[in-house]
Amino acid sequence: MATALEINQVSKTFKNDRGGVHVLDHLDLTVQEGEFVSVIGPSGCGKSTLLKLIAGLDSDFHGQIAVGDHEVHGPSIDRGFIFQEHRLFPWLTVEKNIAGNLSLRDPEVRSKVNHLIALVNLGGFEKAYPRQLSGGMSQRVAIARALLRNPKVLLLDEPFGALDAFTRAHLQEALHDIWEKNKTTMVLVTHDIDESVYLSSKVVVMDAKPGRIKAVVPIDLPYPRTRSSKAFQEFRTVILEHLDHKPSEPDDFSI
Ligand SMILES: Nc1ncnc2c1ncn2[C@@H]1O[C@H](COP(=O)(O)OP(=O)(O)OP(=O)(O)O)[C@@H](O)[C@H]1O
């Protein structure tokens, strides 16, 4: 299997008046083509920062990030990005939001957009406007839009964080379906352990201050996964333990 994403000794410090905040510390991670990787960790550990570095939205960091054979120095169509909020253009229909600046009169674009609308299960809503869609439907349009240019890697920053539990579970299924059909490599930032176990081929658990990779947990459960199964719950516990575990305190010899 070829490597889709290689993160090599990546560190990031945000400069401030007091010198800086050291957010990411020497991260190494390899993601193979077609993998679904989730990144989970405490608030502020640098998950979104890492995703932005991969996206090329911030190139002020140490180390190297490569997507396929190309080192990342800025944004490129080989990486799609999905934010927590869908960021659709309210004045454009679903199909025009997906096509972006490409013309739907081009038969190739039309056929790709039609394919994506079917993939995200929004047939019949081509001419609808974002205000006529639910939050979950809007996020599915955002996913279709991000897939239009066949990115090598799709980066998702808590895409379901603002949705209710029912819609969230439904969209997790939809995302899994899209991943299986489209074979796009995905990197998902989430706070939700169940979401990470349900979707991922491996879960990266991060530590905070500074952000480091604490564990990489391969989830070798067959799909579709059943949240209530014993094996699922065992993976859940493993991740929870990694998240909960604090480095041991030095022994206290005081009386
Ligand atoms: N542009 C910035 N300038 C200065 N500090 C920043 C900037 N962006 C993020 N930070 C700091 O970097 C740290 C990591 O932030 P980041 O948003 O990556 O964390 P996160 O793990 O995604 O958090 P959450 O789970 O709460 O979304 C935080 O302490 C944050 O305050």
Which of 27, 40, 47 most suits a substitution to test ligand 1, by most atoms within 8 Å of the C-beta?
47
Domain boundaries, the chain: 3-78+152-244, 90-150
Distance 213 CA to ligand 1 centre (A): 16
Q: Ligand 1: which residue has its CA nearest to atom 26? A: 43
Per DSSP, helices labelled H in the chain are 47-55, 94-99, 107-119, 135-147, 165-182, 193-199, 230-244
Ligand 1 atom showing the smallest separation from residue 15 Cα: 4
> pLDDT tens digits, residue range 3-43?
999 999 999 999 888 888 999 999 999 999 999 999 999 99
Cβ(14) – ligand 1 distance below 6 Å: yes
The predicted structure's pLDDT at residue 246: 60
| pLDDT at 253 exceeding the cut of 70 | no
> pLDDT tens digits, residue range 224-242?
999 999 999 999 999 999 9
Q: How many CB atoms lie within 10 A of CB 168?
A: 19
- Residues β-bridged to residue 226: none
Superfamily for domain range 3-78+152-244: P-loop containing nucleotide triphosphate hydrolases (3.40.50.300)
ipTM above 0.90, yes or no: yes
Separation between Cα atoms, residue 137 and residue 120, nearest integer Å: 9
